[in-house]
Structure 1
Amino acid sequence: MIQLSNVTKSYHIGKETFDVLHSIDVAIEQGEYLSIMGPSGSGKSTLMNIIGCLDRPTSGMYKLDGEDISSYKDKELAAVRNRSIGFVFQQFQLLPRLNAKKNVELPMIYAGIGKKERQERAERALEKVGLKDRMLHMPNELSGGQKQRVAIARAIVNEPKLVLADEPTGALDTKTSISIMEQFSELNSEGTTIVLVTHEPEIANYTNRMILVRDGEIVSPEGQRRVGE
């Protein structure tokens, strides 16, 4: 489903060049549940941004479903994101003036889906994550775990092939984190490909494969299984 070959990423600040990723090679199959681990500043979030079409590599090739999107323009990348990728972030990224249901509807507005279908699909997505009775609640009326479930509902409402989660439990307590990771496991069991960025081994242990990134390079064997093994 995803293939990164010899991907590098550099940033220019003034006359200096900072290399964030160095010659990254990664292959992710349809239906995988993969975690990307690494300390702060390791490049793991930059790698996720490239996988999620939020950024493009400085050099190298990125194929998504066999299509080379390395040189896509911003508008083309936006179309790929809306069509194929759902995002879950650490700080939820909910709009505070919209209730849960309207927050979940947002990706469908960008996709040009009509109002009635948007509402029906948003309700189904919220019911799927256990928030049937919280659809009309505003974000400030929801707990951290409930906010993250709204974010997951929003990520899956367009039925993306891929869900990317960047430190999705970073703002949650242990009990709530377990509940959220069980939700991701359930989604993966239904066939959704999930790529998760985390610095917590306990969270990475929920996934079926782990890649360790340090100083912009993959330093663990790509086939490594669970962290404790």
Structure 2
Amino acid sequence: MIKLQSITKTYKLGAQDVPVLKDISLQVNHGDFLAIMGPSGSGKSTLMNIIGCLDRATTGTYELDGENITSYNEFQLSKIRNQSIGFVFQQFQLLPRLTALKNVELPMVYAGVKKAERQERALEALEKVGLQDRVHHLPNALSGGQKQRVAIARALVNKPSMILADEPTGALDTKTSAQIMDLLTQLNEEGTTILIVTHEQEVADYTKSTIVVRDGVIVEQQNGQGLSI
């Protein structure tokens, strides 16, 4: 599904080159549930951004579903982001003036889905995450856990091949975090590929495998039992 080969990312800081990722090679298969861990500044979020087509590698190749997308233009990448990848963020990224239903509909608006189908699919997605009784609530009338469920419904609504979750429990309490991870686990068991960026071992313990990024390189890979692979 995902194949990264010799990926590097270097940023310009004035006249200085600042390397963030250094020779990253990674393969993710359909149905994987992967945690990407590492300290602040390790490069884990940059890696997630490249996988999510939000940023480009400086060198290396990126294959997605058998297609080399390394040199895709911005229009092609935006189409991949809309149709193939669902995003879940720590701060939810919901539009405050839109109801839960309208927030979930947004990716389908960009995809050109007709209104009646948008509403039907959004309602189905909200029901899937247990929010069928909150569809007309604005974000400020929802708890943190409910906001994250709306975000997950929005990520699911275009039926992407994978979900990328960047610190999805970072703004939640322990009990709510467990509920969100249980939901993501259920989605993975139903066949959705999920990648999570986290600094919390408790979150990584839910996944099937973990990679640890430090100083721009993968320094460790573990299976779900914490065993190096």
Band of TM-score, shorter chain: over 0.9
Q: Distance in 1 between matches of 2:73 and 2:62?
A: 14
Question: Residue 212 of structure 1 corresponds to which residue in structure 2?
Answer: 212
- What's 1:93 paired with? 93
Alignment of structure 1 residues 1-229 onto 2, 5 Å:
1-221=1-221, 224-226=222-224, 228-229=226-227
8 A Cα contact 1:82 1:111, kept in partner: yes
Q: Can you give the 5+ residue segments of structure 1 that lack an aligned partner in the other structure?
A: none
Q: SS of the residue aligned with 1:132?
A: coil
Amino acid at match of 1:115: K
Contact 1:10 1:18 in 2 (8 A): yes
Aligned partners of 1:209 and 1:226 also within 8 Å: yes
**Which letter does structure 2 place at the counterpart of 1:209?**
S
Instruction: Tell me the CA shift for residue 228 of structure 1.
Output: 4.2
Task: Give the SS at the match of 1:87.
Answer: strand
- The 2-side partners of 1:80 and 1:133 are apart by 31
Report the alpha carbon displacement of residue 54 of structure 1 after superposing the two structures with TM.
0.4
Deviation at 1:13, TM superposition (A): 1.7
SS of the equivalent of 2:60 reads strand
Measured after TM superposition, the shift of residue 226 of structure 1 is: 2.5
Determine the C-alpha separation between the residues in 1 that align with 2:174 and 2:145. 11
- Distance in structure 2 (CA, Å) of the matches to 1:205 and 1:182: 12
Letter in 1 for 2:99: N
Amino acid across the alignment from 1:219 = V
Counterparts of 1:55 and 1:227, CA distance in 2: 32
Q: Which whole-Å deviations, capped at 9, do the CAs of 1:4-62 have from their partners, x for residues lacking one?
A: 00000010121011100000000000010000000111000000000000011000000
TM-score normalised by length of structure 2 = 0.98
Structure 1 stretches of 4+ moved >6 Å = none
Q: Secondary structure at the match of 1:78?
A: helix
Q: 2-side partners of 1:80 and 1:171: how far apart?
A: 28
Q: Distance in 2 between matches of 1:191 and 1:132?
A: 23
Q: Structure 1 vs Structure 2: percent identity of aligned residues?
A: 65
Give yes or no for contact 1:201–1:227 (8 Å, CA) kept in 2: no
More displaced, 64-73 or 166-175?
64-73
- In 2, Cα distance between the equivalents of 1:41 and 1:125? 35
Partner SS, residue 137 of structure 1: coil
Q: Matched residue of 2:35: which SS?
A: strand
CA RMSD of aligned residues (A): 0.8
Distance 2:34 2:224 in 1: 10
Distance 1:49 1:131 in 2: 29
Counterpart-to-counterpart distance in 2, 1:176 and 1:60: 39
User: CA–CA distance in 2 between the matches of 1:53 and 1:146?
Assistant: 27
Residue 227 of structure 1: how far off its partner (Å): 6.0
Structure 2 residue identity aligned to 1:161: S
